[in-house]
Structure 1
Amino acid sequence: MTSAPITTVEGRGIVLHGHDIDTDRIIPARFLKTISFAGLGNHVFADDRAAAGGCHPFDCPEHKGARILVVNRNFGCGSSREHAPQALRRWGIAAVVGESFAEIFASNCLALGMPCLRGETEVIEHVQQVVQEQPHVHFCLTLAASTLHGLDHHWPLMIDSGPQTMLLNGCWDATGLLLSHEQELRRTASQLPYLNPSSG
C-alpha cells in the first residue's frame, strides 16, 4: 500500500517575506493544546496577522485559496512542532517554495505529502515579485523536473532525491507504509513477550 503519488502541485501563490520565520510564528504555542489538528488552519500566523491589522498576506482576499507558499531563507526554524505544517496544510497550502528550510520542518511537511522545494535567491525573489504583482497567476510545480511554471516562465528549483522519490512514488506516508504490512506487524507483535506473556 502506498499513498497517492504527488507529481505536480497547481494553483495560485502567496508570498511571505522574511528570513528565519520560526514555527512559533507559523502556529503560536497556545494553539497546541488541542487533541487534534482540526481547526489549526484558522490560527496560522495568528499573532503576525493580528499585528498586521488585516493586511497580512494570509488575510488578503486575493490570496484566498492559494496553494503554493513562497518564502525566503531558513523557513520553519525553531521548535520541531509538527503543528506548523499541519496548520499551513489546513489553511490550504499544498507546497512550499523557498530559499531554504529547517530540516525538521521539511521532514514534517514531507510526512503530509507537502513538497518543499528550494531555489536560488534571485529565483525566489522573481517568483515573489510575480505573485505580488499578479496574484491571480496560476502556477504549476512539477516534482520530476523540479521546476515552477507560470506566465511563460520556468523557474529551476531543487529538492533532495530522497524526498523527491518518495513523493513521486507515493511512499511519503510512513504510517500508511507501516500499516500496509499488517501480517508482518501481527507476526512481530505475537513474538513480543510484553504483549504476549505466553510467548516468552
Structure 2
Amino acid sequence: MSGAERVTRVEGTGVPVRGDDIDTDQIIPARFLKVITFDGIGEFAFFDQRYTEDDEEKDHPFNEERFRDASILVVNSNFGCGSSREHAPQALMRWGIDCVVGESFAEIFAGNCLALGIPTLTADAESIDALQDFVDANPDATITVDVADERVSYGETTVEASVDDTQHSALVEGKWDTTALMAANDDRIAATAASLPYLDG
C-alpha cells in the first residue's frame, strides 16, 4: 500500500505573513490561473500584495531577501479562504513552502495542501503571534514541525499544534498521494477492474 513519502517532520526557516482571512485570490490572483501547467507559478505567489500596478515592490515578506529560502509559512486565522483553486497551494509549494502553521485554515485549502503533501498545523493565536515575532527577529533560525507528534519547536520553545485526524493519518502513513498509491498498487487495481462485470476486457 506504499507509494507516497511519509511526512512526519518538516524543518526549515520561516516566513511570517500576517493578517486574518487571507484568501486564495491574494495568494494567487485569478489572472494567473490560465497556465497550462503549474511550472513557474511560484513566482506569482502573493503577486498583488507584493507589487503595485507599475510593478514596484511593496512591503511584503515574500519580497524580503532574508525570507527567500524559507520553507515554513506562519499565518493567522482563516488562511486560504475564498475559492477552491488548487493553484494557491501549488504557488506556495513552488515558491518553496513545505509546511504552513497558523491559527486556522479554510477546509478546502487545507485539503488541497494535503494533496501536495503540505502539512497545515494549527495553534492558538498567542502561540502563532509569538512564532511570527520569533521568525521576524530570527529569519535564519530553524523551525521544527513534528507532524507525527503535533508539535512546533523553535529556539527554546515548543508549542502544541493540531493536525486534522484525516490529514495526520494520510501524511504520517504516506497515504496522501493518491496517484502514487495507485501506481504502487497497479496489480490490485487491475485485478479489481477485471472482476467488474460491467467492464469488457
> What TM-score does the superposition give when structure 1 sets the normalisation length?
0.92
For 2:182, what is the secondary structure of its paired residue? helix
Aligned counterparts of 2:22 and 2:61: Cα–Cα separation in 1: 14
**Match for residue 21 of structure 1?**
22
**Match for residue 11 of structure 1?**
12
Q: Structure 1 stretch 23-32 or stretch 160-169: which is displaced more?
A: 160-169
For 1:69, what is the secondary structure of its paired residue? strand
Is residue 2:46 matched to residue 1:58? no
Deviations 1:103-125 (A, max 9, x none): 01001101111000000010101
Unaligned residue ranges in structure 1 (runs of 5+): none
Choose from 152, 175, 187 the match for 1:183: 187
Is residue 2:141 matched to residue 1:137? yes
After superposition, the Cα gap between the structure-2 partners of 1:82 and 1:192, relative to the gap in structure 1 and judged at 3 Å, is: farther
Deviations 1:73-122 (A, max 9, x none): 00000110111000000000000000000001001101111000000010
Aligned counterparts of 1:183 and 1:151: Cα–Cα separation in 2: 48
Is residue 2:95 matched to residue 1:91? yes
> What TM-score does the superposition give when structure 2 sets the normalisation length?
0.91
Q: Note if contact 2:24-2:81 (Cα within 8 Å) is conserved in structure 1.
A: yes
Aligned counterparts of 1:187 and 1:150: Cα–Cα separation in 2: 48
Q: Note if contact 1:117-1:159 (Cα within 8 Å) is conserved in structure 2.
A: yes
**Match for residue 153 of structure 2?**
149
Aligned-residue identity in percent: 45
For 2:20, what is the secondary structure of its paired residue? coil
**Match for residue 47 of structure 2?**
46
For 1:154, what is the secondary structure of its paired residue? strand
Structure 2 residue identity aligned to 1:22: D
Q: Tell me the number of residue pairs that the alignment of Structure 1 and Structure 2 aligns.
A: 196
Report the CA distance between 1:192 and its aligned residue.
7.0
Cα RMSD, aligned residues only: 1.6
**Match for residue 73 of structure 1?**
77
After superposition, the Cα gap between the structure-2 partners of 1:139 and 1:33, relative to the gap in structure 1 and judged at 3 Å, is: same
Structure 2 residue identity aligned to 1:142: D
Choose from 162, 166, 173 the match for 1:169: 173
For 1:96, what is the secondary structure of its paired residue? strand
Structure 2 residue identity aligned to 1:13: G
Q: Structure 1 stretch 95-104 or stretch 179-188: which is displaced more?
A: 179-188
